[in-house]
Structure 1
Amino acid sequence: MKGRLEDRIFDGVNYLLLSLIFFVTAYPFYYLLVTSFNSGTDALLGGAYFWPSDFTLENYKTFFNDSKWLSALFMSIARTVVGAVTGVLFTCLVAYGLSHKGLVFSKVYFSLVIFAMYFSGGLIPYYVVLRSLGLLNSFATYIIPGMLNTFFLLIAISFFREIPNDLKESAWMDGASELKIFYRIILPISKPLIATMALFVGVGHWNSWLDSAYFVRAEYLRTLSYRLIEIINQSRVPQEAIEAAAGASSVTSYSLQVTAMIVSIAPIICVYPFLQKYFVAGIMLGSVKE
Structure 2
Amino acid sequence: MKIARSAGERAFDASNAALLVLLSVVTLYPFLYVLFASVSIPSDFVQHRGILLWPKGFTLDSYRMVFENPNIVSGYLNTIFYVVVGTSLNILMTSLGAYALSRQNVMWKNAAMMMIVLTMFFDGGLIPRYLLVKNIGLLDSYWALIIPSAMTTWNLIVMRTSFQAVPVALEESARIDGASDWTILFRIVIPLSLPVIAVMVLFYGVWHWNKWFDALIYLRNRELFPLQLILREILIQNDTGSMMTSVSGGDRMPIGETIKYATIMVATLPILFLYPFLQKYFVKGVMIGAIKE
Q: Same fold (TM over 0.5)?
A: yes
What is the CA-CA distance between 1:11 and the residue it aligns to? 2.7
Q: Identical aligned pairs, as a percentage?
A: 37
- Alignment check: 8 A CA contact 2:75 2:226 kept: yes
C-alpha distance in 2 between matches for 1:60 and 1:251: 14
Secondary structure in structure 2 of the residue aligned to 1:212: helix
2:224 matched to 1:221? Answer: yes
**How do residues 129-208 of structure 1 correspond to structure 2 at under 5 angstroms?**
129-208=132-211
C-alpha distance in 2 between matches for 1:116 and 1:19: 40
What is the CA-CA distance between 1:4 and the residue it aligns to? 5.5
What is the CA-CA distance between 1:99 and the residue it aligns to? 1.1
Deviations 1:132-184 (A, max 9, x none): 11101111111111111111111222221121101111111111111011111
Question: What's 2:263 paired with?
Answer: 260
Greater mean deviation of Cα atoms: 14-23 or 46-55: 46-55
What is the CA-CA distance between 1:44 and the residue it aligns to? 1.1
C-alpha distance in 1 between matches for 2:150 and 2:202: 14
Per the alignment, do residues 102 and 260 of structure 1 end up closer, same or farther by CA in structure 2, a change over 3 Å counting? same
Question: What's 1:61 paired with?
Answer: 64
Question: What's 1:39 paired with?
Answer: 41
Taking structure 2 as the reference length, the TM-score comes to: 0.88
What is the CA-CA distance between 1:189 and the residue it aligns to? 1.0
Per the alignment, do residues 165 and 58 of structure 1 end up closer, same or farther by CA in structure 2, a change over 3 Å counting? same
Q: Which residue of the other structure, out of 234, 237, 241, is the alignment partner of 1:231?
A: 234
Name the amino acid aligned to 2:110: K
C-alpha distance in 1 between matches for 2:132 and 2:4: 71
Deviations 1:3-56 (A, max 9, x none): 355444333222221111111110110110001111223221115712212210
C-alpha distance in 2 between matches for 1:259 and 1:11: 39
Secondary structure in structure 2 of the residue aligned to 1:280: helix
- For structure 2, list consecutive stretches of 5 or more residues without a partner in the other structure: 240-247, 289-293
**What is the Cα-based RMSD across aligned positions, in Å?**
2.2
Name the amino acid aligned to 1:130: V
Name the amino acid aligned to 2:192: I
C-alpha distance in 2 between matches for 1:264 and 1:93: 32
What is the CA-CA distance between 1:282 and the residue it aligns to? 7.6
Question: What's 1:107 paired with?
Answer: 110
- Alignment check: 8 A CA contact 1:35 1:255 kept: yes
C-alpha distance in 1 between matches for 2:256 and 2:130: 32
- Alignment check: 8 A CA contact 1:75 1:221 kept: yes
What is the CA-CA distance between 1:191 and the residue it aligns to? 1.1
C-alpha distance in 2 between matches for 1:204 and 1:171: 36
- Alignment check: 8 A CA contact 2:199 2:285 kept: no
Name the amino acid aligned to 2:95: C
C-alpha distance in 1 between matches for 2:221 and 2:106: 44
Per the alignment, do residues 46 and 95 of structure 1 end up closer, same or farther by CA in structure 2, a change over 3 Å counting? same
Question: What's 1:241 paired with?
Answer: none
Name the amino acid aligned to 1:46: H
Secondary structure in structure 1 of the residue aligned to 2:147: helix
How many pairs were matched up? 276
Per the alignment, do residues 124 and 250 of structure 1 end up closer, same or farther by CA in structure 2, a change over 3 Å counting? closer
C-alpha distance in 2 between matches for 1:119 and 1:205: 23
**How do residues 11-22 of structure 1 correspond to structure 2 at under 5 angstroms?**
11-22=13-24
**How do residues 53-92 of structure 1 correspond to structure 2 at under 5 angstroms?**
53-92=56-95
- Alignment check: 8 A CA contact 2:87 2:201 kept: yes
